Amino acid sequence: YEWNNGILEAKPLPNYPQVRQYGWFYTLLNCYLQSHPIAKLINLETGVSMTVLDAGEPSGKWEVVYKPDIGVVLNDNPAPWGALELRAFEGVCDMIVEEVSDSTLAEVRRDTEEKRRGYALAGVKEYFILDPADRYMGFYRLTADRRYAQIRPGAGGVIRSQVLPGFQFRRTDLLNLPGLEELALDELYAGYVIPGFLDSVNRTEEAEQRADVEAAARHQAEERAEVEAAARRQAEERAASETAARRQAEGRADEAEEQMQALQAEIARLRQDRD
């Protein structure tokens, strides 16, 4: 239940897609706060008491005890939070996230209009409304006149928080809910989801690429060595063939010389016999 300005209201129950989306975003916030411990979280059953002046109320003030789905309390928030004895937060959260309740139109108005107006009056700096059906999703930042202005998405539909510097996410990822490893490999999230994982993977890939290049270079060197060895063998075989050919030619020349000398000797003998 929640206490809404004198009225006790039942807190609506979520459906499964809302539970999944809530869990994904809560995990994302936890990842951020593990690497950037600048705040603490409030969630689900923790009461948040707020009283603010409101000329629109008959009593002149707006008093509630809400149980936001997620509250973010910065470490420099003037209201203490985090001690064992604290069971409720009596201050103003720096950011509040609500998973829209959409069983009835009244529930939708409560999150998108009543709470949005009340959180703005109380001074909640950022208010995010999540919706897995993507009908009522919205991201708001407090202006100087205590009103909410929509946060303009950056390139690629990226929402960036000012309350949590460096906390950023794609609107479409709130619908697709990618896993942590996929987020850690995404440069948008790599700074706070498993920090260093992307660098480690990149280093591993670079090392593998270097190893592949070195293996290719070794293979090329081995191929060159084999080609050079084959060329040497061919040269040696040619040299051996040429040597054998020279020896054969020399043998034939010697034999021809011997035959010539024998012929000349025979001619000389015949001449002597005739004389």
- pLDDT, one tens digit for every residue, the chain (275 residues): 677 776 777 777 889 999 999 999 999 999 999 999 999 999 877 888 888 777 777 778 878 888 899 999 999 999 888 777 777 888 899 999 999 999 999 999 999 999 999 999 999 999 999 999 999 999 999 999 999 999 999 999 999 999 999 999 999 999 999 998 899 889 899 889 988 554 655 554 455 666 555 666 576 767 777 767 777 888 788 877 878 878 887 888 778 788 888 778 877 787 787 77
Tokens of 7: 């009225």
Cα separation of the two ends of the chain: 155
| 144: three-class secondary structure by DSSP | coil
DSSP notation for 200-214:
HHHHHHHHHHHHHHH
Report how far Cα 147 is from the mean position of its chain's Cα atoms.
Answer: 35
Phi, psi (degrees; rounded to nearest 5) at 185: -90, 0
Residue corresponding to tokens 């011997």: 258
Q: What is the pLDDT of residue 198?
A: 46
With DSSP H G I counted as helix, E B as strand and the rest as coil, what are the percentages for the chain, rounded to 5? Answer: 45, 20, 35
**What is residue 151's DSSP assignment?**
P
Q: What is the pLDDT of residue 176?
A: 97
Going from N- to C-terminal start, the domains of the chain cover 2-194, 196-275
**What is residue 111's DSSP assignment?**
I
Distance CA 24, CA 20 (A): 6
Q: What is the pLDDT of residue 234?
A: 81
- Domain 2-194: top CATH class: alpha beta
Q: What is the pLDDT of residue 211?
A: 54
DSSP notation for 162-178:
SSSTT-EEETTHHHH--
